Amino acid sequence: DPALNNAKLEGPIKFEDNANLVIIELAAKAVITKVIINKFFILLEYQKLGI
């Protein structure tokens, strides 16, 4: 049955796509967090210098 074969193939592919999206989302969040932390430390450095 072609429909059944397609379902079997689509299952793992869909799962893999979802996993990739989750990984991309986590990576994006990590980058954003890193940028925020860096900006925070830069602000702290400026305050130490009294600028």
Model confidence over 6-38: pLDDT tens digits? 667 666 667 788 888 999 999 999 999 999 999
DSSP state, residue 50 = T
Tokens 């193939």, residue? 9
pTM: 0.54
pLDDT value for 33? 96
Task: Tell me the CA distances in angstroms from 42 to 3, 31, 39, 45, 49, one per residue in order.
Answer: 58, 16, 5, 5, 11
Q: Is the pLDDT of residue 45 over 80?
A: yes
The letter for the amino acid at 1 is D
pLDDT value for 4? 72
Segments making up each domain of the chain, as ranges: 1-51
